[in-house]
């Protein structure tokens, strides 16, 4: 399915995080060599512990804000899967300087290092947040609105720099606009945790979760294996499709209230949620048109929400402690 040269070498930045560690696992399953760069500021070393004894795996603790580190880790690398970033719209509103430093400067460091070391493909995580206040549904690349948060600004900046590195320097870059990714290893803890793992954790503990707003906001929840497919397909994409950003979703549109009801039903729980205030900077509705990614990258969103949520609940039941 994914045919790379047998000696191909991958670098996953943020490889100890949720999405990064799942990419690492898949690359190792395919038999290729993978290096992880992670400063463990938001990643968890436990996510990569199962891979430590694999001869094809190397872990480097380091910061993408340090250019020399980026230059060193990209030597001999064929494919960069750049996932390192700080997420969370609300936290970016509280800490805009940190987000600019990590998400923008860090990505620019990685782009420059990849250019210098002749990396074949640079695939990076963008976000559906770049659509801002655009009311257009489904979301189509090129119909973006006004940005609503520092986080969204950083992801937009990443796309602009990546486009320039393709046009000015010939580095093949592919931006993946993730739409609300969920699945195994996603952290359910903390004030900025994603909604699905928080729902599952609270229900496992027979606690009432909080839904921000009225629960009528909608999201295109995308199971992790769809995102893995998108990253690897982008590595194999034709150079003529580089320098662009692509929607990576499942094509669905689920209300938060319906999500909570579905999870409760699957877990045999009857616990009423608490409704809190709206989160600043949040988009009200989100739904991805993935036709561009399907056509240009060969992306195949194989898992819809209901299939993914069953797998996710099963994983948390086996792996979540308290």
SS3 76: coil
pLDDT digits (tens, 9 = 90+) for 136-178: 999 999 999 999 999 999 999 999 999 999 999 999 999 999 9
Q: What's CA 64's distance to the chain center, in Å?
A: 17
The CATH superfamily label for domain 9-182+223-251+289-303 reads: NAD(P)-binding Rossmann-like Domain (3.40.50.720)
**Torsion angle in degrees (nearest 10) through CA of 145, 175, 109, 130:** 20
DSSP 92-122: HHH-HHHHIIIIIIHHHHHHHHHHHTT-SEE
Contact 127, 281 (CB under 8 A): no
What 8-state DSSP symbol labels residue 209? Answer: P
Distances from the Cα of 150 to the Cα of 16, 65, 92, angstroms: 24, 18, 6
Q: What's CA 192's distance to the chain center, in Å?
A: 15
CA distance 22 to 253: 24
Write down the pLDDT at residue 62: 98
Q: What is the pLDDT along the chain (322 residues), one digit of tens a residue?
A: 788 999 999 999 999 999 999 999 999 999 999 999 999 999 999 999 999 999 999 999 999 999 999 999 999 999 999 999 999 999 999 999 999 999 999 999 999 999 999 999 999 999 999 999 999 999 999 999 999 999 999 999 999 999 999 999 999 999 999 999 999 999 998 777 789 999 999 999 999 999 988 999 889 999 999 999 999 999 999 999 999 999 999 988 899 999 999 999 999 999 999 999 988 887 788 899 999 999 999 999 999 999 999 999 999 999 976 5
Q: Which helix (H) or strand (E) holds 210?
A: strand 210-212
pLDDT digits (tens, 9 = 90+) for 221-268: 999 999 999 999 999 999 999 999 999 999 888 999 999 999 999 999
The residue among 45, 69, 68 whose CA lies nearest residue 57 is 45
What are the φ and ψ backbone dihedral angles of 258, each rounded to 5 degrees?
-70, -35
Distances from the Cα of 212 to the Cα of 75, 192, 219, 282, angstroms: 44, 12, 13, 10
Write down the pLDDT at residue 279: 82
Structure tokens at 92: 């970016």
């Amino acid at each position: 399915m994914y045919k790379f040269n047998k000696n191909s070498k991958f670098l996953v930045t943020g490889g100890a995080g949720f999405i990064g560690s799942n990419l690492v696992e898949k690359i190792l399953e395919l038999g290729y060599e993978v290096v992880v760069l992670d400063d463990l500021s938001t990643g968890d070393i436990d996510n990569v512990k199962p891979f430590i004894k694999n001869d094809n795996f190397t872990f480097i603790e380091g910061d993408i804000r340090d250019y020399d580190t980026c230059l060193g880790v990209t030597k001999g690398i064929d494919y960069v899967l750049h996932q390192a970033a700080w997420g969370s719209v609300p936290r970016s509103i509280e800490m805009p300087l940190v987000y600019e430093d990590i998400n923008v400067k860090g990505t620019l460091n990685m782009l420059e290092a990849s250019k210098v070391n002749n990396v074949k493909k640079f695939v990076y995580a963008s976000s559906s947040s770049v659509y801002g206040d655009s009311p257009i549904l489904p979301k189509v690349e090129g119909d973006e609105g006004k940005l609503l948060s520092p986080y969204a600004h950083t992801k937009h900046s990443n796309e602009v720099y990546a486009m320039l590195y393709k046009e000015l320097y010939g580095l093949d870059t592919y931006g993946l606009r993730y739409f609300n990714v969920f699945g195994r290893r996603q952290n359910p803890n903390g004030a900025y945790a994603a909604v699905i793992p928080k729902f599952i954790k609270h229900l496992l503990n027979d606690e009432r979760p909080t839904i921000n707003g009225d629960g009528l906001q909608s999201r295109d929840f995308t199971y992790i294996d769809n995102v893995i497919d998108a990253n690897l397909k982008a590595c194999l994409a034709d150079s003529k499709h580089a320098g662009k950003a692509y929607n990576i979703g499942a094509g669905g549109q689920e209300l938060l209230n319906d999500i909570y009801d579905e999870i409760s039903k699957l877990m045999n729980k009857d616990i009423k949620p608490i409704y809190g205030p709206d989160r600043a900077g949040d988009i009200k509705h989100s739904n991805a048109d993935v036709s561009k990614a399907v056509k240009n990258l060969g992306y195949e969103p194989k898992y819809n929400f209901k299939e993914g949520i069953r797998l996710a609940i099963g994983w948390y039941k086996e792996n979540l402690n308290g």
